[in-house]
Chain A
Amino acid sequence: MTYRYTVNPSRCTGCRTCELACAFTHTQEQKPGRSRIYPIAYGPDRFVPVTCLQCDDASCVKSCLFDALKRNETTGAIELDKDRCVNCRACVAACPFGCALVDDVHDQVVKCDLCGGSPACARFCPTKALEYKRIA
């Protein structure tokens, strides 16, 4: 079974539910600033939920000199192994989309891991702008 995470910006209303769902799932805190997904306005009332695109030939994986970033073949997500990460920020600098982030509270690199196969943002998105669909 293969799943794919899809983002459909034309359906996004900018309600920021995904931000809260993400922050709460990963940090148990209702602080949108600690989310791994950000709906960013590119015009009046027009938003794009910006999150990790789990690239096939990912710069973050290539840039990691300690093999801390690896793809989880089941979920398709590139996961950060916190035990191996030494916070050098190579991935943060190398990601062309800025989706390897720094959690300012713990001063640590974090990135979207698709919640291990059931992304909270997609579950909570009221307009289905974010979806996690089975493709095969």
Chain B
Amino acid sequence: MVQMTINGKVVKAPDGEMLLTVIRRQGIDVPALCDHAAVEPCGSCRMCLVEITREDWNGWKKYVTSCLYPSENGLIVSTHTPELQEIRRNIMDLYLARCPGSELVQKMAEEYGLTRTSYKTIPEGDNCIMCYACTRICEVLGRNAISAVHRGHAKVISGPFDDPPPDCIGCLSCANICPTDVIEWHDQDGTRAIWGRTFDLISCRQCGKGIITRDFAEYLKEKRQIPADYFEICDDCKRVELARKMGGLVDLAKEVAS
């Protein structure tokens, strides 16, 4: 355990735990766009910046991304100084220029009193904030299907060589984790389209409802040894099936007893 001071309060935390986790546990709301519990932090959104200093630093201080800075003894952390709020406001101003269509960005910018950006909006902007949440979750999944391609202004998240990703299994983890909802997908007639690819959805044997993609089921079967027949019926029909089977046993037990 280490001892730190956060906003004037003495706080104990496990050695090496990231500052953002410790700060949030104290009930202090530090904004972040790229943070998610299931993925490794990467410090790309810059919103979780905090000011750190130590007694032996003689008044010297620095700004660090709290999601990437490990706790250490004697750290003095401030989370909402006027300078930090100014930095966060400027970052939101830039995000607003890059992603004018994102509801989350608009909402967060409003908290800093911004309704429109003071910069020039990117005309062909796509609302992607380049936080890499999608590529990081794909990495955790073990597929690494998508990553950043091209350089500079042309940088986008896509499959290798900006082609449809061959390793994608259509699980939608990337689309669901995306903070600005830019990853487009749709289910139609038993197929799912995402990243320029079309996947076959397994349809429930009984009601025809789409369950998950065949590739995803295949991957779960191979990686986590889930029997393939578990994926053939949808959850609604499985519950009815369970009631029928359990009910059969109850009736049988009653018959035997009488």
Name A's B-contacting residues (CB within 8 A).
9-10, 38, 40-43, 46-48, 50, 59, 62-63, 65-68, 81, 83-90, 92-102
Q: From the candidates A59, A86, A92, A102, name the one contacting B226 in the complex (CB within 8 A).
A: A59
Q: From the candidates A48, A63, A65, A84, name the one contacting B243 in the complex (CB within 8 A).
A: A48
Contact A86 B38 (CB under 8 A): yes
CA distance A84 to B202 in the complex (A): 25
B140 on the A face (CB < 8 A) = yes
Q: From the candidates B37, B171, B177, B253, name the one contacting A90 in the complex (CB within 8 A).
A: B171
Name B's A-contacting residues (CB within 8 A).
36-38, 137, 140-142, 171-173, 176-177, 202, 211-212, 216-217, 220, 223-226, 230-231, 233-244, 246-248, 250-251, 253-254
Contact A63 B246 (CB under 8 A): no
Chain B residues with CB under 8 Å of A87's CB are 172-173, 176
Chain B residues with CB under 8 Å of A89's CB are 172, 211-212
Of the A-B pairs whose beta carbons lie under 8 Å apart in the complex, a sample of 8, sorted by A's number, is A40-B243, A42-B244, A65-B142, A81-B37, A88-B172, A92-B211, A93-B230, A98-B237
CA distance A38 to B234 in the complex (A): 16
Contact A42 B247 (CB under 8 A): yes
A-B contact sample (5 more), CB < 8 A, given A40-B242, A63-B224, A68-B38:
A38-B239, A42-B244, A87-B173, A94-B226, A98-B236
Query: Which of A10, A59, A68, A93 counts the most chain B CB atoms within 10 A?
Result: A93
Q: Which residue of A is nearest B242, CB measured? A: A97
Contact A88 B173 (CB under 8 A): yes
If over half of A's interface residues share one DSSP class (helix, strand or loop), that class is named, otherwise mixed; here it is mixed
State the Cβ distance, A110 to closest chain B Cβ, in Å: 11
Q: From the candidates A48, A65, A90, name the one contacting B246 in the complex (CB within 8 A).
A: A48
Chain A residues with CB under 8 Å of B176's CB are 86-88
Chain A residues with CB under 8 Å of B172's CB are 87-89
Contact B173 A94 (CB under 8 A): no
CA distance A95 to B240 in the complex (A): 13
CA distance A10 to B38 in the complex (A): 42
State the Cβ distance, B250 to closest chain A Cβ, in Å: 5
Contact A40 B240 (CB under 8 A): yes
Chain B residues with CB under 8 Å of A88's CB are 171-173, 176, 216
Contact B235 A9 (CB under 8 A): no
CA distance A23 to B148 in the complex (A): 42
Chain A residues with CB under 8 Å of B234's CB are 98
Chain B residues with CB under 8 Å of A68's CB are 38
**Nearest 8 CB-CB pairings of A with B:** A98-B238, A42-B247, A98-B235, A40-B243, A83-B37, A48-B243, A98-B239, A66-B38
Chain B residues with CB under 8 Å of A86's CB are 36, 38, 137, 173, 176-177
State the Cβ distance, A44 to closest chain B Cβ, in Å: 11
State the Cβ distance, B157 to closest chain A Cβ, in Å: 16
Known: A9-B247, A90-B171. A50 touches B235 (CB 8 A): no
CA distance A85 to B225 in the complex (A): 20
CA distance A93 to B223 in the complex (A): 15
Query: Which of B217, B220, B248 counts the most chain A CB atoms within 10 A?
Result: B220
Q: Which residue of B is nearest A81, CB measured? A: B37
State the Cβ distance, B140 to closest chain A Cβ, in Å: 6
Q: Which residue of A is nearest B142, CB measured? A: A65
Chain B residues with CB under 8 Å of A95's CB are 230, 235, 238
CA distance A87 to B160 in the complex (A): 25
Contact A94 B242 (CB under 8 A): no
